[in-house]
Amino acid sequence: MKKTLIYLFLFVNIWATKAEYHPMLNNPKWIIRVYPFIGPEPYFDIISGGNEVTIGSFTYLKIYDPVYQQDLYFREDVNTKKVFQYLEGNDVVVFDFSLEVSDTITFENGITYTVTSVSEISVNDGTRKTILLNSVLGSEYWVEGIGSLGHPLISHIVLSEPTVTLSCNFQNDINIYSALNVDCENLLKINTNNKISSDIKLFPNPLTIETTIELKEHLKNGSVKIFNSVGQLVMELKNKNGRRIIVNRGNLTDGVYNLQLFDSNVLVANRKIVIQSQ
């Protein structure tokens, strides 16, 4: 009888360990590597959770996406192991970490993915469940509590530039996931000290004569690089400081350009700008 109870106790503990779910929206930060289809060199950027927002009957975590320059809204149901996103007025499942092999999930674009493998990987605080999904568009790789290993908040393939890969994940300022040969603590420090993307305004855009870059923080040693549609550096401004930079179009022709702002050689912002004549 005692031996039976011991076996039962061990079984319950093993089951409980396997069943433990690691939340994804636990004061999260993701550091990503962005590879523009054309234009500038790859660069690091940071995505972090913001304020909670109530929409309808649900409360979502507002997250600014610096890649697509928009606010996203997510919530998580820990009991069902699902992450939802507010999309075009609907509460949509974007991650389902309860899925097992042969299960399917269909996203808002109508594409169905099938789970072909469920495994686990080692992370800095133990192990996490992984899910490999396949569709006619290709494969996706999810990690429980972290998201996708591509763009961490995009659970399925999006056929648009740029390419994004996950470098680091933090939960409550604790480094959980690190890609190979990446110094996550240093990257977090650099990107946190440089209030990137969402703290910067660029106006007017489109521009005809000039545009103004406005920041919340002062630049100490700023520079601006502008690349054309084939990736050529067509304008560079150096030794800029303060909170405002005026960029004149000069002899740039009408078209779409990529503008990068640096402070002490660290990328602060990456923006698309449009130049058009009056």
In the predicted model, what is the mean pLDDT of the chain? 86
- Mean pLDDT of the region 147-151: 96
Q: Which two tokens stand for residue 188?
A: 């977090």
- Mean pLDDT of the region 22-41: 86
Assess contact for 188 and 170: CB atoms under 8 A.
Answer: yes
Q: What pLDDT was estimated at residue 196?
A: 47
Q: What pLDDT was estimated at residue 15?
A: 39
Q: What pLDDT was estimated at residue 55?
A: 97
C-alpha to C-alpha distance for 116 and 131, rounded to whole angstroms: 8
Q: What pLDDT was estimated at residue 191?
A: 63
Assess contact for 78 and 23: CB atoms under 8 A.
Answer: yes
- Mean pLDDT of the region 64-68: 86
Which residues are bridge partners to 266 per DSSP? 263
In the chain, what are the domain boundaries? 2-193, 200-275
Question: Using 50, 70 and 90 to split pLDDT, how confident is the model at 2?
Answer: very low
- Mean pLDDT of the region 230-251: 91
pLDDT at 231 over 80: no
More confident residue, 273 or 115: 115
More confident residue, 83 or 41: 83
- 200-275 CATH: 2.60.40.3080
Listed in sequence order, the residues at least 6 apart from 19 whose beta carbon sits closer than 8 Å to its beta carbon are none
Q: What pLDDT was estimated at residue 192?
A: 60
C-alpha to C-alpha distance for 71 and 49, rounded to whole angstroms: 10
C-alpha to C-alpha distance for 31 and 168, rounded to whole angstroms: 5
Range name among 20-34, 106-120, 257-271 with the lowest pLDDT average: 257-271
Pairing of strands 90-96, 163-171: unpaired
Percentage of the chain lying above the pLDDT 90 cut: 56
More confident residue, 8 or 86: 86
Question: Using 50, 70 and 90 to split pLDDT, how confident is the model at 73?
Answer: very high
pLDDT tens-digit profile of 7-30?
444 444 443 445 689 999 999 999
- Mean pLDDT of the region 81-100: 97
The CB density around residue 53, as the number of other CB atoms within 10 Å, is: 14
pLDDT at 238 over 50: yes
- Mean pLDDT of the region 47-73: 92
pLDDT at 171 over 60: yes
C-alpha to C-alpha distance for 225 and 220, rounded to whole angstroms: 16
Peptide bond into 28 cis (omega under 30): no
pLDDT tens-digit profile of 97-114?
999 999 999 998 899 999
